[in-house]
Structure 1
Amino acid sequence: MTDRITLDRDTIASGALQEIAAKLGGLVRPLKPEEMEASLTATLAARPRPDPDCPDGDDIWVFAYGSLIWNPAFHFQERRVGLVRGWHRRFCLSTVMGRGTPECPGLVLGLDRGGACKGIAYRVSAAQAREELLVVWRREMVTASYTPRWGKVDLGSRRVSAILFTINRADAHYAPGLDERTVAERMATAEGALGPAADYLFNTEEALRQEGILDVSLERVASHARRLRNQK
């Protein structure tokens, strides 16, 4: 078992996640610093032109659907419940580092095609945007498992363009088509440098409940994973 680390701003800034990935050899390929910077630069360059009447000016929105809801680790000005259409939350990324090991891989969430997803939209100040987004990139883009892109988020009173971290279907760790029982079994047993996969699952479940967001599939997975852990 890899030594446990706490996922906070200091840990992310230290490059600890990249170090963990590097120790796994060929099992994962961490992005080089220049690749990460290039990804962030390209994403910012692709930003849709803001509406001239937009009250947020040049501030940037980031959409969270998993651990960024309960542990963002970056600074923001505002957070609101938002809805993304065309993407849904799914345990579709196998992990052998943060919430699993090569011997017992865990799973983490990704945004996969189709459906819709309720989550939290964070507004990041334009003055701090690159600094804060680099924290997000160092966390979410340890490898190329996600594809950052812009999408529309419905905040109720209006729609904003936000950065979405969608699953990269070409990535070797993309795990499509897993049924809820299989997901629950993996989440109940896997554990990695960031702790048990079950903590990730249960923390997300609780965070969604606190925001009034119902994810029926995730609730079923959590319920089954809880039963499996109680049987140990």
Structure 2
Amino acid sequence: MKGLLSHKVKSSELAPGDHIYAYRSGYAYSHHGIFVGENTVIHYVRKDEGSSSSTIISGLISRFSSSTTLAASEKSFQSTCSKHPDCGRPGNGVALFCLDCFLRDKKLRRYKYGVTPEEFKAKLRGGTCTIAKSDPPEDVIRRARYLLKMGFGNYNLSDHNCEDFALYCKTGLLIPNKEAFGTSGQINSVQAALSSVGDHSSVIEYTRTYNETRYSKDIGVRKDAVEVPVEDVASFLNRREGHNLEYPKKKNHDHCERE
């Protein structure tokens, strides 16, 4: 029952390659990263990572309603840790932090992979789990360390954020369509909530529509996700910035738990 009701874990329970997260701004949103061992986390850092939750939500509503992209602030976020020699080391928008600085005194949580459709829909809040299965830990860590050196493109809240980074490291999947929302469960939950607003006969009907919409956007279910080798990420993202691109679809839903 612990895994269904709560994703909280102790640091001693972590294994290299785990996708972890911590809530910010009174649980308004969560920040995600990949635990790579030795008490360190590699994560994709928004330049204004301290932005308020109201700015994030209002920005997303603007993105959803008018398809405008969100520009990152020029203000950089850096760790001031004195305990770990490499903490705060930037890598082209991707950074390595010690676990304590990543958490900022918040509770440690671990993202779940390979959940059933029933468990996914039971978690009304997005950004905690996915139908997709994780690749082996050595592949996850290799992607994270490579992107620490090479970067992960331009941060965008709606389609290229910290959760998208962690999901990519875990699965190797990205979305080619720049106009589509990305793989972030928390962003897709907000989008599902906004799109589900309408003339529903009951709360039950609204909840059903919300859950089905959110489920259809999960990276383990959607058919527009493609497998991108980490060495090709930079060219993939550069091409995606200009227009939608053709890229070989994932061979099948090997990453998915099927109903």
Common topology (TM > 0.5): no
Determine which structure has greater relative contact order: mean sequence separation of CA pairs < 8 Å that are 6+ residues apart, divided by chain length: 1
TM-score normalised to the size of structure 1?
A: 0.28
